[in-house]
Amino acid sequence: MSKQFFPVFDEQKFGEDIGRILDKFQFSGELRRKIFSQIMEYATENARFEQEQATQRKAIKNDNNR
């Protein structure tokens, strides 16, 4: 499959981008870490869920084409 159908979630780049955004706010170190962790957890779960859904849709489409 091409990246068009399964875009790659670049967790490292996303984390760096979120870090830069959080740097613009004056959160305490602990609060910043908690926010960062929650965003990263949600993003990775969401990316995994979307990929699973796309795989299931493709499988259903292939079954219907038989």
CB contact at 8 A, 24 and 53: no
Among 4-8, 15-19, 61-65, the minimum mean pLDDT is found in 4-8
Residue 25 pLDDT > 60, yes or no?
yes
Residue 2 pLDDT > 70, yes or no?
no
**What's the rounded Cα separation, in Å, for the pair 26 and 29?**
9
More confident residue, 22 or 7: 22
Q: What is the mean pLDDT of residues 33-40?
A: 94
Contact partners, residue 19, CB within 8 Å, separation at least 6 = 36
45 falls in which pLDDT band (50, 70, 90)?
Answer: confident
